[in-house]
């Protein structure tokens, strides 16, 4: 992989890291600011309110996926990536200055909601633009390895957020964190986004996009996407199990360990921080493996593991009484999830031709996340509030089982030539010969 390829991957990943830092610090610091925007009362109810606003951000992701996916296909991957980081920076500033309930009543919650809507727009386009950029910018024989850096950067953003949380927990009192300390990560995120904006303004466009000669007026439109409806539905189905499992063991894990298992916030945060470092390191290894053996074996392994191990892992996590036991179970879960996270970006990008690739990945993926990923935490807390917390474990396992059926029936995409995928010739699931051209 040449120097220019590495430069493109670095710039794309660095921006993705800041995007997801801002996105995830909302979840990781929610236990500190949940009481700031809503009346005092049941802590679980307060968390449900903030989790509800977290989920609302996901419901804006389809809009962001459509809007920014269209920009990515018509104006270029660089234009879409620059716009996403601008929106994310604005949302981080809004959260950082949002007034509390004691100052403005529900006005502060309204500001929080607007910020999450902007974040939803941004991340709805960021995933697809980043997945498309990283996949197109890489050597054809190493697309799995290169695109795995999307989840490396996503996880690095969360690690940075958790790392900052650990520092603040050890340098500030609990009262100070609940009072004003939770605003610090959002200020950091806004500053980081400004730096990435500069980097992305000077980034290089991918050769696959720059050399594409199909300049149809329908490029990046819903009408063009409808011609690939089979692939679009495939993206939704293959995302379903993976996104629920990912958000369960990343954004929700810290709250679960403190709110259900009874670990201190500091211990729960440290468990998540350590597990995510290992998780990030696993992504390129699994991505490289997919370049050798294919994408389907990793996806199938993830789905089988998540279907049959989720219930016992979550049950045991609820009963842990210390750091090491919790860490071991968290690592086991994240090793399983790696089969999905390390390669899902390139799998989705490989399904569509260049002129509809960004929108083709963005919109169906955002829909799946709005329905399953964004609501995972809220569903978990709903089950807990209803006194049947174990119901959530079975829900996660069931989602993985649905995706397993898709993984088993879909075709392999590893050897496709992205530049020669033609309109109307998607890969889809089911029997029959693929009409896509493979790399020579």
pLDDT, one tens digit per residue, over 103-124 is: 777 787 788 888 888 888 888 8
Average pLDDT of the segment spanning 407-414: 93
Q: Which residues pair with 429 in a beta bridge?
A: 410
Please tell me the number of Cα atoms within 13 Å of 202 on its side-chain side: 6
User: In the prediction, which pLDDT does 384 show?
Assistant: 92
By percentage, how much of the chain surpasses pLDDT 70? 90
Which band of pLDDT confidence, cut at 50, 70 and 90, is reported for residue 88?
confident
Report the distance separating Cα 186 and Cα 349, nearest Å.
31
The tokens of 79 are what? 């234009």
User: In the prediction, which pLDDT does 42 show?
Assistant: 60
Which band of pLDDT confidence, cut at 50, 70 and 90, is reported for residue 373?
confident
pLDDT, one tens digit per residue, over 415-429 is: 888 877 654 444 454
**Residues 280, 17: contact at Cβ < 8 Å?**
no
Report the distance separating Cα 429 and Cα 233, nearest Å.
10
Task: Note the maximum CA span of the chain.
Answer: 65
Q: Is the pLDDT of residue 392 over 50?
A: yes
> By three-state DSSP, how is residue 153 classified?
helix
Closest CA to 55 of 370, 389, 368: 370
**Residues 157, 19: contact at Cβ < 8 Å?**
yes
pLDDT, one tens digit per residue, over 223-270 is: 999 999 999 999 999 999 999 999 999 889 988 999 999 999 889 989
User: In the prediction, which pLDDT does 316 show?
Assistant: 97
Average pLDDT of the segment spanning 31-50: 69
For 50, residues 6+ apart whose C-beta sits below 8 A from its C-beta are: 30, 33, 34, 37, 38
pTM of the model: 0.84
pLDDT, one tens digit per residue, over 323-348 is: 999 999 999 999 999 999 999 999 99
Distances 179 to 128, 277, 384 between C-alpha atoms, Å: 36, 29, 27
Which band of pLDDT confidence, cut at 50, 70 and 90, is reported for residue 434?
very low
Average pLDDT of the segment spanning 4-12: 74
User: In the prediction, which pLDDT does 435 show?
Assistant: 36
By percentage, how much of the chain surpasses pLDDT 90? 45
Report the distance separating Cα 349 and Cα 413, nearest Å.
10
Rg of the chain in Å (alpha carbons): 21
pLDDT: which is higher, 13 or 385: 385
At residue 116's C-alpha, the angle toward residues 219 and 358, to 5°, is: 20
Q: Is the pLDDT of residue 222 over 70?
A: yes
Report the distance separating Cα 184 and Cα 194, nearest Å.
16
């Amino acid at each position: 992989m040449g120097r220019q390829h590495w430069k493109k991957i670095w710039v794309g990943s660095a921006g993705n890291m800041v995007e997801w830092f801002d996105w995830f610090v909302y979840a990781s610091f929610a236990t500190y600011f949940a009481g700031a925007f809503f009346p005092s009362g049941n802590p679980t109810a307060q968390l449900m309110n903030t989790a509800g606003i977290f989920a609302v951000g996901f419901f804006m992701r389809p809009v962001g996926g459509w809007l920014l996916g269209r920009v990515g296909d018509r104006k270029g991957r660089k234009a879409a990536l620059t716009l996403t980081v601008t929106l994310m920076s604005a949302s981080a500033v809004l959260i950082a200055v949002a007034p509390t309930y004691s100052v403005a009543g529900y006005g502060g919650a309204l500001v929080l909601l607007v910020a999450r809507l902007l974040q939803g727009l941004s991340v709805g386009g960021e995933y697809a633009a980043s997945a498309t950029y990283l996949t197109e910018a890489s050597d054809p024989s190493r697309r799995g390895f290169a695109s795995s850096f999307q989840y490396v950067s996503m996880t690095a953003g969360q690690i940075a957020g958790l790392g900052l949380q650990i520092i603040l927990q050890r340098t500030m009192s609990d009262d100070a964190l609940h009072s004003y300390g939770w605003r610090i990560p959002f200020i950091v995120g806004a500053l980081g986004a400004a730096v990435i904006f500069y980097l992305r303004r000077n980034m290089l466009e991918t050769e696959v996009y720059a050399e594409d000669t199909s300049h149809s007026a329908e490029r990046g439109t819903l009408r063009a996407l409808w011609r690939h409806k089979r692939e679009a539905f495939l993206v939704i189905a293959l995302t379903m199990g993976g996104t629920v499992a990912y958000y369960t063991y990343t954004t929700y894990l810290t709250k679960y360990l403190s709110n259900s298992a009874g670990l201190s916030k500091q211990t729960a945060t440290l468990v998540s921080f350590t597990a995510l470092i290992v998780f990030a390191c696993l992504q390129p290894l699994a991505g490289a493996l997919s370049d050798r053996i294919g994408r389907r074996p990793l996806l199938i392994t993830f789905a089988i593991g998540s279907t049959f191990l989720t219930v016992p892992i979550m049950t045991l996590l609820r009963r842990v009484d210390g750091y090491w036991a919790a860490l071991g179970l968290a690592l086991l879960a994240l090793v399983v999830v790696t089969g999905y996270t390390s390669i899902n970006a390139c799998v989705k990008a490989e399904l569509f031709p260049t002129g509809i690739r960004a929108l083709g990945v963005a919109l169906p993926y955002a829909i799946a996340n709005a329905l399953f990923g964004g609501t995972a935490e809220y569903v978990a807390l709903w089950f807990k509030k209803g006194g049947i917390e174990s119901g959530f474990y079975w829900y996660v396992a069931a989602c993985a089982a649905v995706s397993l059926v898709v993984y088993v029936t879909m075709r392999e995409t590893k050897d496709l030539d992205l530049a020669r995928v033609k309109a109307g010739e998607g890969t889809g699931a089911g029997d029959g010969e693929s009409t896509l051209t493979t790399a020579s």
